[in-house]
Amino acid sequence: MSGYWWECEGCGEKSDFPTVVSTLSMSSFVWDKLLRADWDQSLLVSPCPHCQAFRRITYEFPRKDKVTLRVIHIVGRQSEDYVPMMRETYPTDSPKERWFDFKYQRGRNPWGLNKAAVFSRQELQELFMLYRGKTGAQEFP
């Protein structure tokens, strides 16, 4: 599988977006589900039909030595069709680590999903406040 997929944290089974969340892709999942649900973080986990664990969105971080990341949280801002986001992830070979990945998309267009998002200081403060609100984290960062 390429791009973004869902993968079980327990048994490792991979699934595509239509199977798990009835959307065609990562970008339509963000646009049609996450945004409409005001970044409801519970949408980012799905019970695995084969074991007791959860499935999460998974993707490869483009490094020389490829790293596979699983998504824990996504929060973002919307300005018309521009949606810059912060993803909290962990590398599958080091699950206790947390990596924060800043990307964007325009509408359902996935083009920016591999491009860096830029935030002003004010926007970052608002993003971190949203993160705290959506995740229950007392302090962040």
Q: Measured from the CB of residue 99, what is the shortest distance to Zn ion in angstroms?
A: 23
Q: How many DSSP H helices and E strands does the chain contain?
A: 3, 7
Gap between the Cα atoms of 22 and 18, Å rounded: 4
Q: Which is nearer to Zn ion, 19 or 125 (CB)?
A: 19
Contact 43, 30 (CB under 8 A): no
Q: Measured from the CB of residue 70, what is the shortest distance to Zn ion in angstroms?
A: 13
Q: Which is nearer to Zn ion, 35 or 51 (CB)?
A: 51
Measured in residues, the chain has a length of 141
Tell me which residues touch Zn ion (CB under 5 A): 8, 10-11, 48, 50-51, 53
SS3 (DSSP) at 17: helix
Q: Which is nearer to Zn ion, 20 or 26 (CB)?
A: 20
Contact 36, 83 (CB under 8 A): no
- Triad 14, 63, 15: Cα angle to 5°: 10
Q: Measured from the CB of residue 95, what is the shortest distance to Zn ion in angstroms?
A: 15
Q: Measured from the CB of residue 92, what is the shortest distance to Zn ion in angstroms?
A: 14
Q: Which is nearer to Zn ion, 56 or 103 (CB)?
A: 56
